[in-house]
Amino acid sequence: MNEDYSRSPDRVLASEKIVSGRKVFFLDYKENNRGRVLKITEDVNGRRDTIMVPDEALDDFADALERILNSDVSADRPDQA
């Protein structure tokens, strides 16, 4: 089998877990022979949804999240001090 198409095990570089009410979010930064990826999984009572953000998009992803959190709308969030 061609090495490019074979599945190699992912190596976890970093992980975080966030609990918010009945939801649990898992953030796993992984690496395999195809590169690095941030895997974001939401678990709600055993039902899981996952997105994969490739390493080359992480800066844009983080910048967009920062813009959202710093927007005027975020001033209305109840958890803001």
pLDDT in tens, 11-54: 999 999 999 999 999 999 999 999 999 999 999 999 999 999 99
Residue type, 6: S
Residue 12 is predicted with a pLDDT of 95
DSSP element (H, E) containing 60: helix 58-69
3 in any annotated domain? no
80 in any annotated domain? no
- Over residues 67-77, the pLDDT tens digits come to 999 997 656 66
Contact 66, 72 (CB under 8 A): no
> Is residue 55 scored above 60 in pLDDT?
yes
50 in any annotated domain? yes
| C-alpha angle 67-42-6 in degrees, rounded to nearest 5 | 100
Q: How many domains does the chain have?
A: 1
> Is residue 80 scored above 80 in pLDDT?
no
Residue type, 20: S
Q: What is the CATH number of the domain that holds 34?
A: 3.10.450.700
81 in any annotated domain? no
Contact 33, 3 (CB under 8 A): yes
Structural domain for 47, as ranges = 11-74
Give the Cβ contact number of residue 8 at 10 Å: 10
Residue 75 is predicted with a pLDDT of 60
79 in any annotated domain? no
5 in any annotated domain? no
1 in any annotated domain? no
